[in-house]
Amino acid sequence: MSRLIVPALLAVLVVGIAAPSVSDDMGEIARAGQWQVGVLRLPEAWRLSRGAGVLVAVLDTGVNSRHPDLEGTVIQGPDLTGTARSLWGQHGTAMASLIAGRGHGDGRGVIGVAPEAEVLSVRVTLENGDPLREKQRSGAGDALAKGIRYAVDHGADVISMSLGGGSGSWEGSAPEEEAVQYAIGKGAVLVASSGNDGDTANRKNFPAAYPGVIAVGAVDRGLKVARFSNRQDYLSVVAPGTEIVTADGSDSYVVGDGTSSAAAMVAGIAALVRAAHPDMSPYLVRRAIELGTRKRPADGHSRAYGHGVANALLALRAADRLGAPAAALPRPGAYFGFGDGPPPGSRVPVVVGMLVLVAAMSARVIVRHRRRARDST
């Protein structure tokens, strides 16, 4: 099924703030405007991990590697849109800068959540204002599904998808869901934006709604859920998503709102966790991010906040706990990284787990007994 995928940044709220080139003044202003750095506790988190050795695939509109904040960070992958490059790389560059931006000079430019990670750019969609989007609507095929598989097959540890269903198609697709399952099975962590129509239709948004994907909503400076952020049962966490400064094109910056930015930051947190725990499963990386949150809902989860406001330092601490030997076994119902399993307090997983354990032990006893019987004959 062919469908259009649109970036999840609120383009109408994006305001350019730069001159034709990145001046020192603009770089300083951009860095000073990154209010999320304190909220996510990045300086403290960077003492534990900076994302070194992790490859984050940015499935988006393309990433411009010429921006000074991304110099030496980007690996260019394929263009799977089937269209010419007219408008190119604005949204993708913005997201890449939030994930792995390194800034430039002395304290200038955008610094990402995981500044030592690398970015693999795979173009799977077009800019919101691109006149060629009509052509993509009829001829793009399953660009996102192909992009996910390409990213996994080329070593991506984390896949960031700041985009969502469009053109009236919000039910997802079988090729995409199969690609998601393939990626998780190969050990990749998938992150996606929850969507930007929370104050209107509040539709179920894909790829965020696929089981196993970390779905991310947006909060403002007061850590209140942004009005546009989609509210759904499958929401994992929320992160800063208003007045976010990002790189733009090859030599400028923009300020924008949207769940796109929030998802990119959480992808960066996933990269920090993966760098600290290279062998941690996608399920446990997700749980570390969900457990390492602030402003957690009273009952543990809500449609608006998910499990709470993402926090890089707390996620790393949670990952350390989950990485201990006693925590290595996933809960029943979560062996493939899908979903959260039964609600807290449920006795179902305990009972099922005990029955499975008893059955397994019984089988081992029978096998050993039979082996001994054979050995004695």
CA distance 294 to 196: 22
Q: How many CB atoms lie within 10 A of CB 116?
A: 18
Half-sphere exposure of 136 (CA within 13 A, CB side): 29
What's the CA gap between 187 and 281, in Å, rounded? 6
Q: Which of 49, 60, 121, 193 is catalytic?
A: 60
From the candidates 229, 260, 261, 281, which is the catalytic residue? 260
CB atoms within 10 A of CB 38: 10
Rounded CA separation 115/255 (Å)? 20
CB-based burial label for 300 (10 Å; 0-12, 13-18, 19+): middle
Q: Does 279 qualify as catalytic in the annotation?
A: no
Distance, CA of 160 to CA of 260 (rounded, Å): 10
Catalytic residue list contains 60: yes
Distance CA 24, CA 30 (A): 10
Tokens of 293: 């949150």
Structure tokens at 58: 């940015």
Residue 326 contacts residue 316 (beta carbons within 8 Å): no
Q: Cα angle at 88 between 85 and 90, to 5 degrees? A: 175
**Buried (b) or exposed (e) across 325-341, using 16+ Cβ within 10 A?**
eeeeebebbbeebbebb
Q: CA gyration radius for the chain? A: 21
* Cα 273 to Cα 48: distance, rounded to the nearest angstrom: 9
- 104 is annotated as an active-site residue: no
β-sheet bridge partners, residue 55 = 118
Query: Which one from 49, 67, 91, 97 is the annotated catalytic residue?
Result: 91
- Catalytically annotated residues: 60, 91, 260
